[in-house]
Copies of this chain bind each other. A is one copy, B any other.
């Protein structure tokens, strides 16, 4: 099978940084899943003895704690600080930005509209910085049911797609007197998405490598499927199915922002032998 890699794929700046932080802080606890990739988490635990703890109450006093890449709710951060935790913050700087925007805009009296998935840790963290009742919507349809104020500030989960943010922005501009729009979508995400879109137009099959709980990986799959029906998401090479490649000549590969190079390499090697 012939293989073509996407122009941009894999680890973003924030994830690379978080992994370096974890490797430098051996024997720490990580509050929540550092990145959305179970295999890389296992590697860090095995090689550097950094363990994940989801429940802040179970974190011992004065323990060294790493804050996950997606950030955590403000209340949890304060709880850990009060407990005397030695905190190393691996929150991606591109996530700290919307946290700060939500805090300052809600203090200035703007209604916050956060375009994101309410169940995603990043969104839970960002929205916790609002000082008033904020709206979290994951689609234009969800927004249409909400009551809007005259002055609105719009921020986005970093992994969202720009065209959808623009639709939401347009809807608000038509209805509100003032809309402050902060484009907090991360370039790394959009570069990977653009590259996946381009590649999907020229291949017979697309393999997206990444965690099944990773928001940006799932989006890469959805983008790839627009032009290449035969697109599949795998966490590693063991999930590849031979039947997918029947009668196919050219296979495109892309990978989510939390997929380590060593997993992508394994997938690539296995496909090349098909």
Contact = CB atoms under 8 A, between A and B. Distances in A.
A-B complex: 6 closest residue pairs judged by Cβ atoms:
A166-B170, A179-B181, A180-B180, A173-B181, A178-B182, A169-B173
16 contacts: A162-B174, A165-B173, A169-B170, A169-B181, A174-B183, A177-B182, A177-B183, A178-B180, A178-B182, A178-B183, A179-B180, A179-B181, A179-B183, A180-B180, A180-B181, A181-B181
A1 interface: no
Contacts of A183: 173-174, 176-179
A181 B178 contact: yes
Contacts of A182: 177-178
Interface string A127-138: 000000000000
A99 to B, nearest CB: 15
Interface string A183-224: 100000000000000000000000000000000000000000
Contacts of A162: 173-174
A101 to B, nearest CB: 8
Nearest to A167: B170
**Chain copies in complex:** 2
Interface string A75-91: 00000000000000000
A176 B165 CA distance: 13
Contacts of A178: 180-183
A178 B179 CA distance: 10
Nearest to A177: B183
Nearest to A190: B174
Nearest to A184: B177
A105 to B, nearest CB: 10
A201 B178 CA distance: 33
Contacts of A177: 182-183
A166 B182 CA distance: 16
A174 B162 CA distance: 7
Nearest to A179: B181
